[in-house]
Chains A and B, each alone.
Chain A
């Protein structure tokens, strides 16, 4: 039995990293502290707020409820992989256009949840969009502008053949 550090290999936003981690290190802490990817935010660290949402092998996951060792050999996507300030990703652009953020603390989690929604789900009505977003908490916007952004993204996707 050992609680000592071990080496894991992860692909984050397309780049492979080898990282030495204790088994108890959370994936959120590994991303932020070991890889310096502080775009993934931590709010509650018990699964409730959604700020830490990332994609694990293509589906959204709470990085505060995932251990770094569980991500050994996995593919991770974070908000840093979605775009840059010069070249925003689709969801980021929709957030800017619709004022989907104020302080921005919740935004990375929303962007990653929305990435999962657009890839793996097909909400259509506003009710379905709200339900799909219900695991992410925003204390600033009142959600209306976030729903506006997602509605546009969903319509855009529906219009594509």
Chain B
């Protein structure tokens, strides 16, 4: 047998799941898609005493929108996120990023919320959660809390979620009408984890960049926005020079690691090149605001 022994509980409701987790005394684990957890259990890197399966809980597989937020339930799988019409209309940058996530068979099972809980530094869903001011809705037998994304990721594969907490949903800001977006990624094979990726959002006002956001992943412990690069462009015209300054600021602000797939220098170069493309795409998709 590959994994170490554990008890298995198929949860019937969120309450059942969090009660079971509470009873496990910090040693329980939730399984959603299992596409990151099962490999770790097969290697015995993770050895839960109780595995709480949330796949049979009804009502967690929805994407909903209210006003300026999208809510993605805990059982929304990658293939659903990728083709969801609400996401395509109100957060097209997410649809674009999903094209790069894993392979058909993995997308059948893996979930958006599971990816965010797993917190891989080169995963698209955590990056989208950072880019779009995500909020993580956690439930435990002690109550519920909403965690802003900036308080959620704590390092590579580390979050501030407590061991007795379940993420019921994650909400994201929608992208307002007229705001442009761009997303570019480089991986060695289609569907592999990225060596690096960059995303940008912006509006145009009076021919200038407004409300710009730039985020990167794969080049640090966790996905992050790069304020130094955003500052170079906010309020400016999008000239080649301005993009060059932003790319230089981005490269200076990140400290990627080296591994067998890519050196730190190569990753830094890549992140800048991808950010440049994402910025230009966002600019060309942004529509000039019509004065009221």
In the complex, residue of chain B having the shortest beta-carbon distance to the beta carbon of A113: B105
CB < 8 Å neighbour of B38 from A25, A47, A59, A130: A47
Please report which residues of chain A, range 52-67, place their CB below 8 angstroms from some CB of chain B when the two chains form the complex.
Answer: 53, 59-62, 64-67
Q: Is the CB of A29 within 8 A of B35?
A: no
B145 located at the interface, meaning its Cβ lies under 8 Å from any Cβ of chain A in the complex? no
* In the complex, chain B residues whose CB is within 8 Å of the CB of A66: 34, 38, 109
B55 located at the interface, meaning its Cβ lies under 8 Å from any Cβ of chain A in the complex? yes
A141 located at the interface, meaning its Cβ lies under 8 Å from any Cβ of chain B in the complex? no
Please report which residues of chain B, range 95-112, place their CB below 8 angstroms from some CB of chain A when the two chains form the complex.
Answer: 102-106, 108-109
Q: Measured between alpha carbons, how far is A126 from B109 in the docked complex, in Å?
A: 25
A16 located at the interface, meaning its Cβ lies under 8 Å from any Cβ of chain B in the complex? no
In the complex, residue of chain A having the shortest beta-carbon distance to the beta carbon of B99: A131
Q: How many A-B residue pairs have CB under 8 A?
A: 99
Q: Is the CB of B104 within 8 A of A24?
A: no
Size of the chain B interface, CB-CB below 8 angstroms: 31
Q: What size tier do the contact residues of chain A reach?
A: 35 or more
Distance from A3 Cβ to chain B, minimum over Cβ atoms (Å): 4
* In the complex, chain B residues whose CB is within 8 Å of the CB of A47: 35, 38-39, 106
Q: Measured between alpha carbons, how far is A19 from B39 in the docked complex, in Å?
A: 24
Binary interface profile of A, 60-91, with partner B (CB < 8 Å = 1, else 0)? 11101111011010000000000000000000
Max chain B CB contacts within 10 Å: which of A1, A25, A64, A130?
A1
* In the complex, chain B residues whose CB is within 8 Å of the CB of A70: 10, 31, 34, 53, 55
Interface residues of B: mostly helix, strand, loop or mixed? loop
B266 located at the interface, meaning its Cβ lies under 8 Å from any Cβ of chain A in the complex? no
Q: Measured between alpha carbons, how far is A24 from B48 in the docked complex, in Å?
A: 11
CB<8 Å pairs between A and B, sample of 28: A1-B49, A2-B7, A3-B5, A3-B7, A22-B1, A23-B6, A23-B8, A24-B4, A24-B6, A29-B2, A46-B38, A47-B39, A60-B104, A60-B108, A62-B106, A64-B42, A65-B38, A65-B109, A67-B8, A67-B34, A70-B31, A70-B55, A116-B105, A134-B103, A134-B189, A135-B102, A135-B105, A135-B106
